[in-house]
Amino acid sequence: MITLTGKKVSEGIAIGKLSFYKRDSKEIRRIYVKDVEKEVQRFQKARQKGIQELKTLCDTAAKEVGEANAAIFEMQQMILEDQDFVDQITNIIVEQKLNAEYAIQSAAENFISVAMAGDKNYVQGHDADIKDVANRILRILARAWKDKMLTDEPFVLATGELYPSEAVQLDKTKVLGFVTRYGTINSHTAVLARTKGIPSVIGLGEALKKDYEGKTILVDGFEGKVYIEPDYTTITKMKQKQDANHTQVQNLERLKGKENITQSGQKIDVCANIGSREDIENVLRCDAGGIGLFRSEFLYMENGMKLPTEEQQFQAYKLAAESMGAKKVVIRTADLGGDKTAECLDLGEDSNPAIGYRGIRVSMDKEDIFKTQLRAILRASAFGNISIMFPMITSIEEVTWAKDMLQKAKKELKNEKTAYDEEIPVGVMIETPAAVMISGELAREVDFFSIGTNDLSQFTLGMDRQNAKIDRFYNPHHPALLKMIRIITNNVHLEGKHISVCGDMAADLELTEYLIQLGIDELSVAPNQVLGLRKKIREIQ
């Protein structure tokens, strides 16, 4: 048994076979493999599949564009059946102990030079077809991993770093837990893991080796530990821990339907944060007072190359509104950018992504996309108690612009005789020190506020929430941060407006009493943290 220690991100125990994440990356990496026979089989399986695909393509093309044009796919098949080509790939795998992807790419480059030298007449001048064939096999190899998510047993995912755009697309019914070499507990991947309740440990470093592929792994998300091929005693201990946690969770169930009230009678709302429609069920199960933050950008991040349409978004928001009944649902307009990239939106490269092109700034540049989202939210507002919130605000101008856009969207819907809530509450996120300093002025512009302590911490402390190297300097209880929260709360309450905390600080039980004393109206946390927070509130004097 091997024990690895990392950082705990999301509580829970997971046990299963470990599978390294395979990216659909254009960049092919040179990776040493131990089991070369298995790697050759992987290649051969993909090659056979490629030949089959080309046969089908050839038949369809013959019917649609004629035999002569279909011959191109016949030639591509011949490349895959060319013994020299196949031998070259196999030799690289076996002799150099390298991965199939790298072997295919090198062999294809070599094959192109051979063809150019005139040694292979049938492919002479067909460099693009050789590349196409190689790409087909590379795609099949990458797809094989995705197919695994559809067909195989559930597994524990391992990777160097898991990006939020990838985490959001994982099949949650197959991924029992995940472990990574790098990453920070404040990243959006970590936020996602907590929201979904997927046990995970990150920052295991190079100790998380490729050789562990296929081995049994036990993830202890309570302690931030990982066990490779755990022994009987460890498994038993973890089962006991899991049972104890189960009992604790069951005890918390008794708090369902109860108030979030301190011993001295002070009440506070407890809501839940979500990122997708799949999370709504968890919100209902945990008896949250509403959805305090719907991170709508995840709808963009899970939609592949296509932007989510107005209809698609409308359906997701409507489901949230209808499921919650009279309880409120705060939909934050897309906070894309930073580490939240989406294939469907090219945001370009930023040298400083956290303080770069993100949040409302992207919306102000891409008005059409923003208006589509506003229309979807407004349409859904006819089906429940929806509020709308703007992210990464730094100025009054941004808010007045966003409110103008909302007016335009309302006008369009009115002209189309489409129903929406004319009085939909509008709020802003307080995530930047600038927003803190103008919170008094902002309070005259909007109906409610939510403090995003994850971003507010990184901007106040000047510490990138993504940078693991500065983890030890990152103090989530820094007095400057606590003072900021006091300033915002006072300013907002002076205008008689509502204030919540929806960043991770809301779930920090060491600060619950402080936040209640300040007079925060609402705390919004991951669904499975709701009842634990209720328990804490009810214990406070």
Across the beta sheet with 175-180, the strand order is 2-5, 225-228, 216-220, 13-20, 155-159, 175-180, 200-202, 7-10
Shortest Å distance, C-beta 293 to ligand PEP: 6
Site string for ligand PEP, 185-214 (x = CB under 6 A): ------x-----------------------
In whole angstroms, give the CA distance from residue 252 to residue 141.
Answer: 45
Name the residue nearer to ligand PEP (CB basis): 76 or 200.
200
Q: Which stretch binds ligand PEP (CB under 6 A): 169-177, 233-241, 448-456, 471-479?
A: 448-456
Query: Strands 2-5, 225-228: parallel, antiparallel or unpaired by DSSP?
Result: antiparallel
Element (H, E) at 510: none
> Which among 162-170, 240-248, 342-350, 451-459 is the span making contact with ligand PEP, rule CB under 6 A?
451-459
Name the 3-class secondary structure at 274: strand
Site for ligand PEP in 454-473 (CB under 6 A): 454-455
Residues sharing a CB contact under 8 Å with residue 516, sequence separation 6 or more, in sequence order: 262, 266, 268, 537, 540
Among 453, 466, 491, 512, which residue sits at the site for ligand PEP (rule: CB under 6 A)? 453
Binding residues with ligand PEP: total (CB under 6 A)? 11
**Least distance from C-beta 18 to Mg ion, angstroms?**
32
Per the annotation, the verdict on 502 as an active-site residue is: yes
Q: Does 279 bind ligand PEP (CB under 6 A)?
A: no
Give me the catalytic one of 126, 188, 271, 286: 188
Verify binding: residue 394, ligand PEP, rule CB under 6 A: no
If one asks whether residue 295 binds ligand PEP (CB under 6 A), the answer comes out as yes
Sequence-ordered list of residues with C-beta below 8 angstroms from that of 499, at least 6 positions apart, any chain = 448, 449, 450, 451, 488, 489, 492, 493, 520, 521, 522
Residues that bind Mg ion in the complex, under the rule CB under 5 A:
431, 452, 455
* Nearer to ligand PEP (CB atom), residue 53 or residue 508: 508
The answer to whether 498 and 448 are in contact (CB under 8 A) is yes
- Closest separation between CB of residue 422 and ligand PEP, Å? 28
What is the rounded CA–CA span in Å between residue 101 and residue 42?
10
Supply φ then ψ for residue 338, to 5 degrees: 65, -130
Cα–Cα dist 506/302, whole Å: 26
**Annotated catalytic residue within 58, 271, 286, 502:** 502
Q: Return the beta strands (E) in 363-477 as ranges.
A: 385-390, 426-430, 448-451
As measured in angstroms, the least distance from the Cβ of 299 to Mg ion is 16
- Residue 381 CB, nearest approach to Mg ion (Å): 23
- Does position 452 interact with ligand PEP (CB under 6 A)? The reply is yes
328, 426 contact by CB (below 8 A): no
Q: Which of 503, 507, 525, 528 binds ligand PEP (CB under 6 A)?
A: 503
CA angle 191, 192, 196 (to 5 degrees): 120
Enumerate the active-site residues: 188, 502
- Per CB under 6 A, residues contacting ligand PEP are 191, 293, 295, 335, 431, 452-455, 502-503
